[in-house]
Structure 1
């Protein structure tokens, strides 16, 4: 069900990004960071995994190695598949990947206007570490010890 993304998955990833992040445009006042990514390049670079259900991509996650922790760079679930626990599956996968890679922590960031995400990550044990404005986006950085 969860596998590394291939170039054939890029269109599905882009469609999920469009559907999942478009509702935030009005709240943020511009496109969120994930809508500005080059997913073809990200897939080529590795670290992108998709949730594949019988050939239908229902979600994806992008993980990135850093010096001190695994970065959960992006996670999205197709709107029609939300509420099925797939976000939890992806977050559990990220935390297992971090542990398997020898990290003692996992980090992520989200836009401060994405209050639903902040609440979700807090429930999962993530703690805010700092806030920053980058490329005109107000981000909240969070971490979780593993």
Structure 2
């Protein structure tokens, strides 16, 4: 659990100044997520945990709550592997869509998710955060 929190801090602390407080993933209840079996980690060849993803099925889509890769492992394709695992799990649950949200001040995410096939479908203010909602329809293969 400590390693997952450390990855969240590594990945999300850069946004504290822009948002004005820690991003929601930095405050996540990781013990509960671990007990619920909705968190998955990815390791480096050395066996060190380098990233994680949290997702769970809803009635008509897979909800992607959080994905993070330690900044020291950024750019190695680990985030894409984690997202592919989420898509595979969605298909395994009979779901053909992934949904997520990100903070509107996380501008790198606003550029990244469309490159990964997600489309914006809503913007809302919730829990004091200005959120941008994305969805991705999965192919049947």
Tell me if TM exceeds 0.5: yes
Q: For residue 31 of structure 1, what is the aligned residue in structure 2? A: 22
Q: For residue 126 of structure 1, what is the aligned residue in structure 2? A: 118
Q: For residue 87 of structure 1, what is the aligned residue in structure 2? A: 79
Q: For residue 105 of structure 1, what is the aligned residue in structure 2? A: 97
Q: For residue 2 of structure 2, what is the aligned residue in structure 1? A: 11
How far 1:35 sits from its partner (Å)?
Answer: 1.1
Runs of 4+ in 1 over 6 A off after TM superposition: none
Quick one: distance in 2 between partners of 1:19 and 1:82? 11
Check if 1:48 corresponds to 2:30: no
How far 1:118 sits from its partner (Å)?
Answer: 1.4
Check if 1:74 corresponds to 2:66: yes
CA RMSD of aligned residues (A): 0.9
How far 1:30 sits from its partner (Å)?
Answer: 1.0
Quick one: distance in 2 between partners of 1:18 and 1:124? 24
Quick one: distance in 2 between partners of 1:38 and 1:72? 15
Quick one: distance in 1 between partners of 2:7 and 2:118? 24
- How many residue pairs end up in the alignment? 137
Quick one: distance in 2 between partners of 1:35 and 1:82? 18
Quick one: distance in 1 between partners of 2:43 and 2:7? 13
The CA deviation string for residues 4-57 of structure 1, in whole angstroms up to 9 with x for no partner, is xxxxxx110000011111110001111111111111111111110000233310
Where do 5+ consecutive residues of structure 1 fail to align?
Answer: 1-9
User: Normalised by the size of structure 1, how large is the TM-score?
Assistant: 0.90
